[in-house]
Amino acid sequence: MNLKELTIKQAHELLEKREITFLELTQGFLSEIKKKDKDIHAFLSLSEDEALEAAKKVDDRIAKGEQIEMLAGIPAAVKDNILIRGGKTTAASKILENYIAPYDATVIKKLKEEETVFIGKTNLDEFAMGSSTENSGFGPTKNPVDLERVPGGSSGGSAAAVKAGFCVYALGSDTGGSIRQPASFCGVVGFKPTYGAVSRHGLIAMASSLDQIGPITKTVEDAAIIFEAIRGKDELDSTSVHRDWGDFTKPLDIEELKIGVPREYFTHGLDPEIEKNIKSVISKLEKEGAKIVEISLPHSDWALATYYIIMPAEVSANLTRFDGIKYGYSEISRPTGDHPKGEKLLDIYLKTRQEGFGAEVRRRIMLGTYILSAGYYDAYYKRAQKVRRLIKKDFDFAFENIDVILTPTTPSTAFKFGEKTSDPLSMYLADIYTVSVNLAGVPAISLPSGEVGGLPVGLQLIGKNFDDIKLLQIAKTVETIIKEKNHT
């Protein structure tokens, strides 16, 4: 059995037919991890005993002849900013190095009800801030396709784990591209649902108005299976909503499909080979009968600047709770003595945050604090919110005439370690095609679209708000066409 290719559906069928046991499957993945994760470093921690125990439980049910759910016994990896009760949850930050989650995130609770098996927590850029996992407090993850290159970020560990064959699927989080960009760099599928489709309860917050949890998988169908399992209204997240989502298995007529191609996404900065790749998929879709429409998203040029105002503002507010008193790491070792009253407490805050946070996190907290300070709030934050509104309107307007938007996921393929670390702005540009989606709240998915120079290329499809199922249906059609194209 090829663990690298194994999908949820295939695993479920093998297990139902009793061609393999859950225990064997889980052991298979764990032994792959032990053999190969020394080089890749996709995982920050493993939960071997719990995973084997959970797998045995499902085996017992099968032995009794009971019907099992689609996700029962399927081994999964989880980004280490999502809480699993009783296990370490670090967000790849030294400040949370020994933090034990006191409860399950809602997505975890839902997946546990389906008896999925969690085998470990994956690496990320500290607090999900970055595009390469180089900002992890515990060392970077390597791209399984080429160990000299980054896997993307911030959900780099999750994407690498799926690609390397360490699990059947993984969960990630996406604030500005963190599911789609690593999926693109590693050659797997990454889906960011509509804002509000999936509960954020138990996700360590980065920027609350942008964060969403979503799946990283090998196929679109698997992404749909996970989405169906984790979505829905949750009393513990007031931004989550109830919807009538529709049926993923309903067939889609490609001849009725109107695909928008935004001209702003095919200009300077895009690797010409990626452009060629994406355009050849577009012409294949056209040949199959889809209608291709050139569209404009006129405020795209301001998306990155807007994101880098709104996101750090929310980061600085969300991260105030890590002060050395409430959670994790604490710098309380300063000798007592001649400090006036009150100063010592401030010292604890300052030193804890200086020692506990990495450089990128500190940079964003400082930026955000500045943006929100009196006198600058109107000039920066308020203006950025207005531009955000315009970006959202661009999408609303475009979707009056089309079903889906097609773009590259990233302007380049996976870059080498260190290539962008000295220049944060060049790192931020890796998200140029993904951040608008979070600002507008719309759903988007990245699909593997062949290779350029031996490295995976990602194709992004963007859907209308809460049209997640239709987006996934379209993505499945595009996936089939890309696969056929690569074989001819």
Which residues of the chain form contacts with ligand GLN (CB under 6 A)?
128-131, 154, 174-178, 206, 311, 431
Strands 75-79 and 169-174, by their bridges, are parallel
Rank residues 324 and 458 by Cβ distance to ligand GLN and give the closer one: 458
Q: Which residues contact 57 (CB under 8 A, 6 or more apart)?
A: 115
CB 90 within 8 A of CB 96: yes
What's the closest the beta carbon of residue 293 comes to ligand GLN, in angstroms? 29
Rank residues 29 and 357 by Cβ distance to ligand GLN and give the closer one: 357
What is the C-alpha to C-alpha distance for residues 466 and 476, in angstroms, rounded to an integer? 17
What is the C-alpha to C-alpha distance for residues 324 and 81, in angstroms, rounded to an integer? 19
Three-state secondary-structure class, residue 110: helix
- Give the strand order in the sheet containing 117-122: 43-46, 117-122, 75-79, 169-174, 212-217, 189-192, 444-452, 455-462, 404-408, 258-262, 291-295
| 333 in catalytic set | no
What is the C-alpha to C-alpha distance for residues 310 and 308, in angstroms, rounded to an integer? 6
| 45 in catalytic set | no
Which is catalytic among the residues 93, 132, 136, 154? Answer: 154
Residue type, 327: Y
Rank residues 176 and 262 by Cβ distance to ligand GLN and give the closer one: 176
Which is catalytic among the residues 79, 109, 192, 476? Answer: 79
Residue 456 Cα distances to 153, 227, 450, angstroms: 15, 24, 6
What's the closest the beta carbon of residue 447 comes to ligand GLN, in angstroms? 18
> Could you tell me where the DSSP H helices lie in 64-186?
106-113, 156-164, 180-186
| 296 in catalytic set | no
What's the closest the beta carbon of residue 391 comes to ligand GLN, in angstroms? 16
What's the closest the beta carbon of residue 462 comes to ligand GLN, in angstroms? 15
- Nearest residue to ligand GLN by CB is 178
What's the closest the beta carbon of residue 272 comes to ligand GLN, in angstroms? 24
Residue type, 348: I
Rank residues 178 and 477 by Cβ distance to ligand GLN and give the closer one: 178
Rank residues 226 and 304 by Cβ distance to ligand GLN and give the closer one: 304
Which is catalytic among the residues 131, 173, 178, 446? Answer: 178
What's the closest the beta carbon of residue 219 comes to ligand GLN, in angstroms? 23
> Could you tell me where the DSSP H helices lie in 319-414?
343-356, 359-372, 383-398
Neighbours of 446 (CB within 10 A): 35
| Catalytic positions | 79, 154, 178
